[in-house]
Structure 1
Amino acid sequence: MSVLGERVAAGLKFPTGFVWGASTAAFQIEGSTTVDGRTDSSWDAFCRRPGAIAGGDTGDPAADHYRRYREDVALMRELGLGTYRFSLAWSRVRPDGGKVNPPGLDFYDRLVDELLANGIRPWATLYHFDLPQALEADGGWANRDTAYHFAGFAEAAAERLGDRIPLWSTLNEPWCSAFLGYGSGVHAPGRQDPEAAVAAAHHLLLAHGLGMAELRRHAPAAESGITLNLYPVQGPDPEAVRKIDGLMNRLFMDPVLLGRYPEDVLADLAPFGFGELVRDGDLGLISTPIDMLGVNYYRGYEVTREPVPGSEPAGPEWIGAGEVRFIPDPDAPRTDSGWQVEPGKLTDTLVSVHRDYPHIPLYVTENGAAYPDVTDADGQIADKDRIAFLDAHLRAAHAALARGVDLRGYFYWSLLDNFEWAEGYAKRFGLVHVDYETQRRTLKQSADFYAKVIAANALPGL
């Protein structure tokens, strides 16, 4: 461990019992995509499309976690993580969306037991973007039947693991699955079909409700919920803010927590048949009470409909959001992904959920940044930008606590450098550096900093 983090003392204390963790996703770290009965996911197929992934990268070997999970759990223990959030690969558990595959479930059995043996609580996410390709061939999330296939997957996972996993998320970021996968086509399955994107959004939420029923049945003592990527949307133009906030946030928050879709968003999506998708009983399932909400936060959105030099559309052209533009801040620091670093908007996001919706415990289930790794003269990876990012966002989380938000925990994204979707291996988000040639793991100085924060349950004084 380096001297970084030695200054961590009782500067800003977090509540007793505050959960400290890190998150990953199966396709991004596991590798071993053809072993023990696993079949293709939509991401395996997408990676084979020319030009789909930077550098022509694929999900194998990724970080080789399938074979190196014990080593990775040992790193978690060294960091002092209290909880580890990971996802289950549907194509391992029920290959092609069909029968249960015991060897695939055996892997998660081993992982969960290893975590528990090291004093780390498992948090399982059932779905993090990797739909079995056989189900995608039948229409994927645009097909209502996929939601019922998901219920079967949830049943198999919870029946086998529900006695040992105390925290579950049904879905991770359904906005991405629907609109990046079926609308813009930059994520798997790479479709550009407005009607399919809108249908996918509803069917994903229906799958959440059906999955909650299986979790209640087979893991009744667990805390279960959903994880959404939320964005504070601000700007000088109320109509621009309304449209993007509706598409990004309220389309998913309102049915889950209020039992209804927002009327203005229904009107925006009516030309794409959204109203015809919602059947009697659907919203009752979708609004099944949840125990907690996971909030993934990376950046905010400031938008306008006025021409802005050098700006990009803030939403898909096909819903009229292409007329809305981001307002860039030329002075804001940016990550290696080009995203503005806006820690204060994490506070805004958490406070708005606390203010605008019925009370629900919140967790920051993802927050992180990609930066190039630089090795210093001592052989250490001195990722000072990531330390600054982490420090600033933890202060923002603490500020939300000070304003009365029921925030229960924070999870950094990601534990390991990994396959970063369409960016392939070009972007590094990890606390742990992965040499993809040798699979050697190296703790970065940000890992040292985070470990010291966890041990103190506090941020350093300024």
Structure 2
Amino acid sequence: MTSFGLPPGFVFGTATAAAQIEGGVHEGGRGESIWDAYARTHKNILDASSAAIACDHYHRYAEDFDLLQGLGGQAYRMSIAWPRIQPLGRGPANPEGIAFYHRLLDALLDRGIQPWVTIYHWDLPQALQNAGGWQNRDTVDAFADYTRILRDEFGDKVAAWMTVNEPVVHTGIGHAIGRAAPGLMMLGSAFVVAHHLLLAHGTAVHTLRETLSSPVGIVNNHSPVQPATGSDRDARLAVLYDRYHNGQFAGPVLTGRYPPELEEVDGISFEVIHDGDMEIISAPLDFYGVNYYFPTRVGAAPPFYPVPFAPKKFVGVPVTDFGWPVMPASLLTILKQLKAAYPQLPPVYITENGCAYDDGPQDGLQRSGSGLQDTRRIEFLEQHLAAVGEAIAAGIDVRGYFHWTLLDNWEWQEGYTKKFGLVRLEPATLERIPRASFHRYAEIIRSTGSPP
């Protein structure tokens, strides 16, 4: 074992999403996504911004990959924008979009960096949303066609595939309570969206494996759940929320079954499940992606709250600029819980983990030889890597870690107000300025001696 108990060969990387960094939304034949439409109503975005420019990665990807090469990361988790490939979500591929991603993938390979590609990171073409989006089972067929295009065009360049990113967040925030694109308030009836996302995942696994042997997995957001009080009611609500957040998406993929407790949530009905769906969803995986940011405490909701459980604060715990509690031990907890619940758990990669901290009074904007002062992010990174090392020591097969994210980006409904980057993005000029955490992560990667 080397630094933090991570074995030689452990994969280090960073993670991004096309909608958050590319910009160029009106270039190269790209169509409109649900996030473009959502951002047009400025009250939906905290700073009234949009992703029209984002990080301008569409034009500056070579510069960003030079940074990535300097970091020493062996892998780069990226997503491909569905509207850039199929502007209306259906039909023939857009040649300009195909050419762009060939250039981008080649630029990574030229630098010795493995492309790990997420097929769907929440940027559904708006034309498909107009036809019902993920409520419409036909969207699953459209996703299979889209996957087939990516497979045939880029299959020889992609090191690993991730089908769908965080379906629990896309379902819950975007479709159940309307605080992200597409902004729907379906509450429990959003289960149809969850099911169709998982069915799209399973269909994509089958589509990729028709001609490719590269590894395939899914990316789920996981959070250990505990009750806010010692009451029987809160204990029961904690179990219910655990099944909603964790079991609703891990269970079908890893066991072919939804947790039966889900039917206790108003609006959820298993009638949307067709014969054969669960067999498709539970296709064996080569790896399982875990996104972890924070644990969750839940308790009885106040009157008129849209769901029966409500999040509760952790008292006396440091928080990020998002207000998320910093509890690295909970990463070890959720990995242990997943292994206990699913003994057949495939090899795990931490596909996202990071923290939002601005360059404010605590860290400042002072430059040094090791970049912008960045103490809190360095502590977060080190503590969570140590938790990964503990998980490996406990017998859990964790094989890699992707830090969220390479550089400050357009953080969905938060606009540009939350800073997750190892690299600062100067708002006025888009200059890339490495923080001290960038250099510390590079040191950690070098200390393992992990080969590409």
TM-score range (shorter-chain normalised) is over 0.9
Counterpart position of 1:188 = 181
Q: Would the aligned equivalents of 2:5 and 2:390 in 1 still touch at CA under 8 Å?
A: no
Partner residue of 1:4? none
Say whether residues 1:376 and 2:372 are aligned partners: no
- Cα offset, 1:377, TM superposition: 5.6
Q: Deviations over 1:232-290 (max 9, x none)?
A: 0123443021111011010111100000111111x224x52522100001101100111
The one of 288, 299, 302 aligned to 2:297: 302
Partner residue of 1:5? none
Q: Note if 1:59 corresponds to 2:56.
A: no
Separation in 1, partners of 2:2, 2:277: 48
Alignment of 1:85-104 (within 5 A): 85-99=77-91, 100-104=93-97
Cα distance, 1:273–1:406 mapped onto 2, change above 3 Å = closer
**Aligned to 1:338, what secondary structure does the other structure show?**
coil
| Correspondence 1:204 to 2:158 | no
| Separation in 1, partners of 2:157, 2:3 | 35
Query: Who is 2:433 aligned against?
Result: 442
Equivalents in 2 of 1:337, 1:222: separation in Å?
Answer: 36
- Confirm or deny that 1:363 pairs with 2:356: no
The counterpart of 1:24, out of the listed 10, 16, 26, is 16
* Aligned mates of 2:238, 2:221 — CA distance in 1: 17
Q: 1: CA distance between counterparts of 2:38 and 2:297?
A: 31
Q: Is the 8 A contact 1:141 1:200 kept in 2?
A: yes
Mark the runs of 5 or more structure 2 residues left unpaired by the alignment. Answer: none
Alignment counterpart, residue 148 of structure 2, candidates 155, 159, 168: 155
Partner residue of 1:48?
40
- Of 392, 397, 409, the match for 1:418: 409
SS of 1:225's partner is strand
- Which deviates more from structure 2 when the two are superposed, residues 353-362 or residues 414-423? 353-362
Which residue of structure 1 aligns with residue 164 of structure 2? Answer: 171
Task: State the alpha-carbon separation in 1 of the partners of residues 177 and 311 from structure 2.
Answer: 17
Q: SS where residue 372 of structure 2 aligns? A: coil
**Aligned partner letter, 1:169:** M
Aligned to 2:236: 239
One-letter code aligned to 1:79: L
Amino acid at match of 1:158: R
1:451 aligns with 2:442: yes
CA contact (8 A) 1:141 1:203 kept: yes
- What amino acid sits opposite 1:344 in the alignment? A
CA–CA distance in 2 between the matches of 1:17 and 1:450?
A: 16
**Which moves more between the two structures, 371-380 or 149-158?**
371-380
**Contact map agreement 2:408 2:424 (CA 8 A) in 1:** yes
Give the CA deviation at 1:195.
Answer: 5.7
2:100 match: secondary structure: helix
The letter for the 2-side match of 1:390 is L
- Whether the aligned pair in 2 keeps the contact of 1:73 and 1:114 (CA below 8 Å) is yes
Aligned partner of 2:333 in structure 1 is 348
Q: How far 1:351 moved relative to its partner?
A: 1.3
Q: For residues 68 and 42 of structure 1, what CA distance do their matches in structure 2 show?
A: 24
Does the Cα contact within 8 Å between 2:189 and 2:269 map onto a contact in 1?
no
What CA distance in whole angstroms lies between the structure 2 residues aligned with 1:377 and 1:16?
Answer: 33
Work out whether 1:119 is the aligned partner of 2:112.
Answer: yes
How many angstroms apart in 2 are the aligned matches of 1:141 and 1:192? 14
Aligned to 1:386: 377
CA distance in 1, matches of 2:268, 2:397: 37
TM superposition outliers: structure 1 runs of 4+ over 4 Å: none
**After superposition, where does 1:225-374 map in structure 2 within 5 Å?**
225-235=217-227, 236=230, 237-265=234-262, 267-269=263-265, 271-272=266-267, 274-305=269-300, 317-318=305-306, 320-321=307-308, 324-357=309-342, 358-373=344-359, 374=364
Q: 1:160 to 1:303 in 2, by over 3 A?
A: same
1:345-395: CA deviation from partner (whole Å, max 9, x where unpaired): 000111111221113100000000000122116484101110111111111
Cα distance, 1:304 vs. partner? 3.0
Q: Write the letter of the residue equivalent to 1:200.
A: V
User: What is the TM-score with the length of structure 1 in the denominator?
Assistant: 0.91
Match in the other structure for 1:401: 392
> What are the ranges of 5 or more consecutive residues in structure 1 without an aligned counterpart?
1-8, 306-312
User: Which of residues 418, 438, 442 in structure 2 aligns to 1:427?
Assistant: 418
Shift of 1:303: 2.4
Q: Distance in 2 between matches of 1:102 and 1:352?
A: 45
Secondary structure of the residue aligned to 1:304 is strand
RMSD across aligned C-alpha pairs, in angstroms? 1.7
Contact 1:431/1:444 (8 A) holds in 2: yes
What is the CA–CA distance in structure 2 between the aligned matches of 1:372 and 1:290, rounded to whole Å?
A: 37
Amino acid at match of 2:245: M
Distance (whole Å) between structure 1 residues aligned to residue 78 and residue 444 of structure 2: 22
Deviates more, 1:167-176 or 1:377-386: 377-386
Residue deviations 1:164-215 (CA, integer Å, cap 9, x gap) = 1120100000111111111111110111123652211111011101111111
Cα distance in 1 between the residues matched to 2:314 and 2:154: 46
1:245 corresponds to which letter in structure 2?
D
Indicate the larger mover: 132-141 or 271-280.
Answer: 271-280
User: Does the 8 Å contact 1:13/1:457 carry over to 2?
Assistant: no
The answer as to whether partners of 1:387 and 1:446 remain within 8 angstroms in 2 is yes
3-state secondary structure, aligned to 2:288: strand
**Which amino acid in the other structure matches residue 152 of structure 1?**
D
Whole-angstrom CA distance in 2 between matches of 1:199 and 1:175:
12
Looking at structure 2, the residues matched to 431 and 238 of structure 1 have their Cα atoms a distance apart, in angstroms, of: 38
Letter of the 2:252 counterpart:
P
